[in-house]
Structure 1
Amino acid sequence: MNGWIEARLRERLDHVRARGLWRRHRTLNGPQTPEQVVDGRPVLAFCSNDYLGLAADPRVAAAASDGLGRYGLGAGAAHLVNGHTRAHAALEEALAAFTGRPRALLFSTGYMANLGVLQTLVGRHDTVFEDRLNHASLIDAARLAGCRTRRYRHADPVHLARRLREQRTETARLVITDGVFSMDGDLAPLPELAHTARRYGAWLMVDDAHGLGVLGRHGGGSCGHFGLGMDDVPVLMGTLGKAFGTAGAFVAGSETLVEGLTQFARTYVYTTAMPATLAAAALAAVGIATRETWRREHLAALIARLGAGLERIGLSRPPGASPIQPIVLGDTGRAIAAAARLLEHGLLVPAIRPPTVPEGTARLRITLSARHTEAQVDRLVETLDRVLARMPPEHTDLNPPGGRTTR
């Protein structure tokens, strides 16, 4: 039987290699900053989720060091045994305040948070309504919860309303969506989704991994951007590994929601708590993100500058005001080749291919950080202009110079 499994894996591996979809690790030597050394060569990176530039902030590192001295490294147990420290409690209190909700609950990753929420809130007789471009963790969470699922067209509240009308039941109904979609960078129409969910007696859950800390005047994310509160979005999931520059995730909401997750979410109950030193670092990062509004202002200015530059060289300005700024090239080979040629010029911009994005929508996925400078953004635009101008419109080379491919 083991021979069958290995043969099947080899067949799948050969398939992705032949289609130019092979993925390789890159090895970063040093901190997460725009100027990096990757695979032994200096590059200017436009691919990090470190949106506010906090991953290498010395104050966050100092908080982690202090937490290491106070608590040691490993948590040693699950939260409900004796792995929940004062650092964890303080971080949960800060995240609840940051999101304007009564309580927050920490999870080790965003994937585990989404799994825990859906496994707790819905079962096989319930229905989840999901945006067709939701993050993989939301899609998998709905599948593993064993509930019925109905997809609605991307960012289309009218189609969602039709789905809700078609599926009238007396059981639980949950609408789930990204706040900022990770591959396109566009925002979900949360006010319309919230109104539609309320109208049909459903709850709305927002995965705001890419919005929290970045959008809204005070960094409140997609909900803050639209001025929505807990009555509009009862379930809010956020991550700590993006704008807050650390790692982990949380769910914020009502007392009943958080206590229900504490008691019933298997991905919370049956796993070791995140290290307290990480919680201490995240607490410092949340404080910095709250106080230093210039980070969001500078990031917004860079996004506008990049958009204007792309239009100047004949490319479409990406939708939305998030740091995720994709350039859709369509053909997989063209995207791979463009990324390889940018790397030859010292710029690290990943090519995103199927199955991460739909067929025919391969792209360069640019992400900006508050640590980037205007000059670095200008260099990116100028290099893109040179690289794309020298490529044939329907380039299909799946083996770019050097034989390296990107994600």
Structure 2
Amino acid sequence: MSTTLSERLTQELNSLREGGLLIHPRVLERANRARTRVDGREVVNLASNNYLGFADHPALKAKAESYLREWGVGAGAVRTIAGTLSIHEALERQIADFKHTGSALVLHSGFTTNQGVLGALLREGDLVVSDELNHASIIDGLRLTKATKKVFKHADVDDLDRVLSENDSEGLKLVVTDGVFSMDGDVAPLDRLVAVARKHGAVTYVDDAHGSGVMGAQGRGTVHHFGFEYADDVIQVGTLSKAWGGVGGYAAGHGDLRQLLINRARPYLFSTAQAPATVGALSAALEEVQRDPGLMERLWDNTRYFKAELHTLGFDTMGSVTPITPVVFGEAPAAFEASRRLFGEGVFAVGLGFPTVPRGSARIRNIVTSEHTKDDLDHALQAYAKVGRALGIIGG
């Protein structure tokens, strides 16, 4: 007898429950800011990707409202039929100018951008070499291609050189890496990775979801941070939902990349275009980050302070060098319990366990933003000290 839907759902949920991995997302009752209200409690918010405070920024809201009134609530079609508005193309020119690339295209999310770009570029007979800790969207995007897939050890330039030496291809060769790794907060050594890729005639593909708006001059990203401007053999992709405060994804690079994606990227071809209000907000975000250098200055000042104080308390932050600051608790139940206790102290910080992160390295991932005040961070640090000592993670 075949398994019923009810049986399958029960089996899967019980398995998650027994492993301490069943997730019940908390619900925000106000805008996603440094201080907000979650499940009825006023909290310091360390769980958001809202690096620059753009999710509820007045300039973004004003331009979103302006575009909404002029262009309506929706684009009305996919981009290739009747959904390309002049504001879409203006935003894409803005992104290309900002990123210092030959072209750019906006898609519907960072996740679907990886599916669309990798699917459009890679063919059977091509070779792709991917960092072992790359984001799930890269892994899923590569699964949809017929390219030969190899993995190199995390951020290990020598291992990348070895894999490329042992696996040649007459087709396209692509080295794929995150710019900033979302769970550990470390930065890919792009200066050395690109050099090895070029040695083997490979193109470098960088998912800069957590680097855009955070790394490089005026937040231009990890690629810009390492000096690879106007480089036709470096492709940049990412999301517009983190530092930029909205939703969507982008691909930027070679002058002809945009045209290929318009014709071949399936998420672009088969999804309705972005809503005008979203386009307006994203355009304003790009303007604002260049207008106000204090946004990034505050982000990095807060990051340095928070990390230093966590280290003084004795927490392991895994060597993170970006605003992503993991605090290690070991196994998932411990991280989830720490998250629950922190919430009780007025700090919203989410525990992450397997399969999001490897077994034995469950953690709470904190993201400091430009909006946090010193009082916000001190409140969070006091809560961490109390919870860490109660759970035996730190001494004292």
Q: TM-score range by the shorter chain?
A: over 0.9
Deviation by residue 1:232-270 (Cα, 9 ceiling, x = unmatched): 752100211111111111101112111111111111112
The equivalences for 1:319-338 within 5 A come to 319-338=319-338
2:123 match? 123
Give the aligned residue type for 2:264: F
Deviation by residue 1:137-158 (Cα, 9 ceiling, x = unmatched): 0000000113221111001111
1:75 match? 75
1:252 match? 252
| TM-score, scaled to structure 1 | 0.94
CA distance in 2, matches of 1:284, 1:39: 31
CA distance in 2, matches of 1:31, 1:164: 47
CA distance in 1, matches of 2:178, 2:82: 33
Q: Mind listing any 5+ residue stretches in structure 2 that lack a counterpart?
A: none
Q: 3-state SS of the aligned residue for 2:328?
A: strand
The equivalences for 1:262-273 within 5 A come to 262-273=262-273
Give the % identical residues.
37
- In the alignment, is the contact (CA less than 8 A) between 1:194 and 1:232 conserved in 2? no
Q: CA deviation at 1:318?
A: 4.5
Give the aligned residue type for 1:44: V
Q: 3-state SS of the aligned residue for 2:213?
A: coil
Task: Please tell me whether residue 365 in structure 1 is matched to residue 365 in structure 2.
Answer: yes
1:194 match? 194
- In the alignment, is the contact (CA less than 8 A) between 2:43 and 2:347 conserved in 1? yes
1:239 match? 239
1:402 match? none
Q: CA deviation at 1:332?
A: 1.5
The equivalences for 1:86-165 within 5 A come to 86-165=86-165
Q: CA deviation at 1:6?
A: 4.0
Q: 3-state SS of the aligned residue for 1:42?
A: strand
Q: 3-state SS of the aligned residue for 1:285?
A: helix
The equivalences for 1:7-406 within 5 A come to 7-231=7-231, 234-393=234-393
Give the aligned residue type for 2:363: R
CA distance in 1, matches of 2:5, 2:188: 40
Farther-moved stretch of structure 1 (75-84 vs 132-141): 75-84
CA distance in 1, matches of 2:376, 2:37: 16
CA distance in 1, matches of 2:285, 2:9: 41
Q: CA deviation at 1:231?
A: 2.3
Give the aligned residue type for 1:87: I
| TM-score, scaled to structure 2 | 0.96
CA distance in 2, matches of 1:118, 1:361: 30
CA distance in 1, matches of 2:302, 2:236: 27
- In the alignment, is the contact (CA less than 8 A) between 2:329 and 2:361 conserved in 1? yes
Q: CA deviation at 1:9?
A: 3.3
- In the alignment, is the contact (CA less than 8 A) between 2:323 and 2:369 conserved in 1? yes
Give the aligned residue type for 1:166: E
Deviation by residue 1:74-126 (Cα, 9 ceiling, x = unmatched): 11101111111121111101100110012110101111110011111112322
CA distance in 2, matches of 1:52, 1:21: 31
Shift of the 150–340 alpha-carbon distance from structure 1 to 2, 3 Å rule, reads same
Q: 3-state SS of the aligned residue for 1:92?
A: helix
Q: 3-state SS of the aligned residue for 2:54?
A: coil
RMSD of aligned residue pairs (Cα, Å): 1.5
- In the alignment, is the contact (CA less than 8 A) between 2:184 and 2:326 conserved in 1? yes
Deviation by residue 1:30-89 (Cα, 9 ceiling, x = unmatched): 211111111122211101000000110011111111111111111110111111112111
Shift of the 50–393 alpha-carbon distance from structure 1 to 2, 3 Å rule, reads closer
CA distance in 2, matches of 1:217, 1:306: 22
Q: Mind listing any 5+ residue stretches in structure 1 that lack a counterpart?
A: 395-407
Count of matched residue positions in the alignment of Structure 1 and Structure 2: 394
1:403 match? none
CA distance in 2, matches of 1:28, 1:315: 28
- In the alignment, is the contact (CA less than 8 A) between 2:232 and 2:254 conserved in 1? no
Give the aligned residue type for 1:179: G
Q: CA deviation at 1:10?
A: 2.4
